[in-house]
Amino acid sequence: MSTKDQNLMKVILIASIIIVLSIVLAGTSVYIIAEKEVVNKLKSKDLVRIAESVASKIDGRLQRAKESSLMLAKDPELINWLAGGEKDEKLQSHVVEKLNDLATGFDYSNGFIASKATGKYWIENGQASKVLSESNASDQWFYKALVSKQQVTLNLDYDAVWHDTFVFVNVLVGKVDAPVGAAGIGLSLKELASNFKDYKYGANSNLWLIDNSGKIYLSDDLNHVGTSVSSLIPEQVVQQMLGQLKQVDPSGQQPVVLDYMDSEGQKMDLISFPLKSTDWKLLFQMRRSESVSFLDTIKINTGIASLLCILAMIFMFYFVTRNLANPYKRAMELNRKLEQAVQERTKQISEQKQKLIDSIDYAKRIQDSILPSREEIETVLKDHFVLWEPRDVVGGDFYWMKQTNNGYLLAIGDCTGHGVPGALMTMISISILNRIAETASAMDPASILQSMNMLIKETLHREHGDLMSDDGLDIGLCFIKGDQLTFAGAKTSLYMKNDQEMTVFKGDRKSIGSVRTNNEFNFTNAELTVTPDDSFYMTTDGYLDQNGGVKNVSFGRKKLIEMIEQFHDKPLEEQETLFRSQLVEYMGDEPQRDDITVLGFKIS
């Protein structure tokens, strides 16, 4: 071997040693950093995300149950029936029917009504299953609820016989400080318990739903249900968790993550995650070795990859040194090809985006063309305003006007969905409205809504649809002939205000085209004689449901009525500006949640 070759081999050997040491040092450093970052991510994101996902499912079911129970408790027929001592059989029939519909229609375990006057406990089959007694310990929930002055309370109950956890939502009926009874529903959490297994990470992880005392009410392991979490986690860990909860967040509304060593010497990670709808908490326990077990595979693969890289780099170093290749030139050529590929792909994406924007803009022009213009409305209504604000470029809200031989029809509607799907539904709805108005023998709003209900179902093939995809339409419809106005609504109300009174004509609580709305359902007309002093308003739920304000809650019907009473004597053109500015001020930085339509008018 020549001196030149010997020197070359020395250079290759030294370079190879440097490369090996560099790769080993880099691999070790990367592994240590990766392990630290994985643990940090596990504690700061993964555990929180898993607990948040499970908590959102529980909160969702509880929130829906609360809303259903409040709807039942606020029913005027129920209040009058309990206030009258449950003597009115007609009211009893209506109340029992609504209770049964609520319990069975929404897949709840049961529904109930408890009377303060008689102590009777009514269930969904229309029977008084028992008489509550203040001396009975199992009935104390009812009497505590009556004096709690809290409209909604929740009770957890584990049934050892059925191996199931039940949540009972209790809502006071009537005034909170003087209730006439309580009503609500009970729902099973058994399905959620089975879903807990889907979130388990390894064989030694656990998910528990506990109350403030630490009692476990929900777990995928039935042996844990009904026991105290202190029997499964060291007492000092429980106390440490409670101490951190008080220190970090005295209100108990923030998650707390900590780790500890179990009896086997294994490190465990634990998160306490609060539920938004109640003061219960979700505990998620995971063994650290199982959550980061993939790092062992990464360690082996990294070692193999490092060895292969070392061999490849030694070979390449030798090859490049021997053949005096020009790596810089090759790198520049590769960089040029990559830049060209990126530019071509960017151009394709830009063209696709522009086509999508053009399509949506064209859809907006189509939707604008089917809505009546201000000039068309002014031919029959000199004094009016329309506030129409889709959430997206196009939307599912619409307003409509049609002149007839002896009067004119006026409507606003809210179709299920936003954006392009909602806009398609508005076109179907307006087409059907025009068809009915042109062929109907009498301009009767209730009959028009009934016909529209059937035609939309036929158009969408919804005669036997799936309740989980039950699209529909909420609409308010007026027929105006001289000084006579007839109104019918589907989940939409008509507001009338003059100098003497404020009147709300509520629509029926059924949607058009919904599977739940029977074809034979008869909508209700409200007939009234109009005076020049009367101002009328109709709105879709987008205005009422917009969140904002200091507490970030919905705008609500109460604020709308207050606004109508405050501004009704101003010109309607000025009212449009006031309605818009009030909503914008209330929204603040919150995004628009839904399509918004408000129609205000006077009849000359």
Tens of pLDDT, residues 241-273: 766 655 555 555 678 887 888 877 788 888 887
Q: Nearest Cα to 132, choosing from 61, 182, 94? A: 182
Residues 193 and 218 in one domain: no
Q: In the structure, how many helices (H) and strands (E) does the chain have?
A: 16, 23
pLDDT band at residue 312 using 50, 70 and 90 as cut-offs: confident
CA–CA gap between residue 128 and residue 139 (Å, rounded): 15
What percent of the chain is modeled with pLDDT above 70?
A: 86
Residues 263 and 117 in one domain: no
Question: Which of 177, 199, 221 lies at the terminal end of a domain, its last residue?
Answer: 199
- Listed in sequence order, the residues at least 6 apart from 296 whose beta carbon sits closer than 8 Å to its beta carbon are none
Q: Nearest Cα to 282, choosing from 190, 186, 217? A: 217
Residues 93 and 171 in one domain: yes
Q: Nearest Cα to 387, choosing from 518, 147, 560? A: 560
Give domain status of residue 374, yes or no.
yes
CATH number reported for the structural domain that contains residue 228 in this entry: 3.30.450.20
Structurally, how many domains does the chain consist of? 3
pLDDT of residue 243: 64
pLDDT of residue 315: 73
Give domain status of residue 316, yes or no.
no
The length of the chain, given as a count of residues: 604
pLDDT of residue 199: 67
Give domain status of residue 455, yes or no.
yes
| Higher local confidence (pLDDT), 42 or 533 | 533
Residue listed under structure tokens 């959550």: 291
Question: Which of 290, 323, 353 lies at the terminal end of a domain, its last residue?
Answer: 290
pLDDT digits 0-9 by tens, 32-71: 777 777 777 766 677 777 777 877 877 887 888 888 889 8
Reading the block at residue 182, the tokens are 């309580």
Residues 499 and 460 in one domain: yes
Residues 139 and 236 in one domain: no
Cα-trace Rg, the chain: 34
Per the rule left: phi > 0, alpha: psi between -120 and 50, beta: everything else, 495 is: beta
CA–CA gap between residue 539 and residue 536 (Å, rounded): 10
Stretch among 297-311, 490-504, 521-535 having the lowest mean pLDDT:
297-311
pLDDT of residue 193: 67
DSSP letter, residue 42: I
Q: Nearest Cα to 515, choosing from 587, 473, 466? A: 466
Segment 158-186 shows an average pLDDT of: 83
Contacts of 145-154 spanning 24+ positions with Cβ under 8 A: 145/170, 145/172, 145/182, 146/116, 146/172, 146/179, 146/182, 149/176, 149/177, 150/176, 151/70, 151/73, 151/176, 152/66, 152/69, 152/70, 154/62, 154/277, 154/278
Give domain status of residue 348, yes or no.
no
pLDDT band at residue 300 using 50, 70 and 90 as cut-offs: confident
Is residue 197 scored above 70 in pLDDT? no
Task: Write down the pTM of the prediction.
Answer: 0.46
pLDDT of residue 284: 79
Question: Which of 239, 263, 290 lies at the terminal end of a domain, its last residue?
Answer: 290
pLDDT band at residue 159 using 50, 70 and 90 as cut-offs: low
pLDDT of residue 325: 45
Give domain status of residue 363, yes or no.
no
- Listed in sequence order, the residues at least 6 apart from 236 whose beta carbon sits closer than 8 Å to its beta carbon are none
Residues 135 and 101 in one domain: yes
pLDDT digits 0-9 by tens, 447-491: 999 999 999 998 888 665 555 456 789 999 999 999 999 999 999
455 near 436, Cβ under 8 Å? yes
pLDDT of residue 538: 97
| Higher local confidence (pLDDT), 77 or 248 | 77
Stretch among 72-86, 259-273, 323-337 having the lowest mean pLDDT:
323-337
Backbone angles phi, psi at 272, to 5 degrees: -110, 115
For the chain, give the mean pLDDT: 84
pLDDT band at residue 389 using 50, 70 and 90 as cut-offs: very high
DSSP E strands in 482-555: the ranges are 484-490, 494-497, 502-505, 526-529, 535-539, 547-548, 553-554
CATH number reported for the structural domain that contains residue 558 in this entry: 3.60.40.10
pLDDT digits 0-9 by tens, 219-245: 777 777 778 887 878 877 777 776 665
What percent of the chain is modeled with pLDDT above 90?
A: 34
pLDDT of residue 245: 54
Is residue 217 scored above 80 in pLDDT? no
Give domain status of residue 589, yes or no.
yes
Stretch among 306-315, 359-368, 474-483, 583-592 having the lowest mean pLDDT:
306-315
Residues 521 and 469 in one domain: yes
Give domain status of residue 564, yes or no.
yes
Segment 327-351 shows an average pLDDT of: 82
Give domain status of residue 280, yes or no.
yes
Backbone angles phi, psi at 551, to 5 degrees: -95, 0
What residues are paired with 101 via a beta bridge?
Answer: none
Q: Which domain holds residue 187?
A: 75-199
Stretch among 62-71, 123-132, 321-330 having the lowest mean pLDDT:
321-330
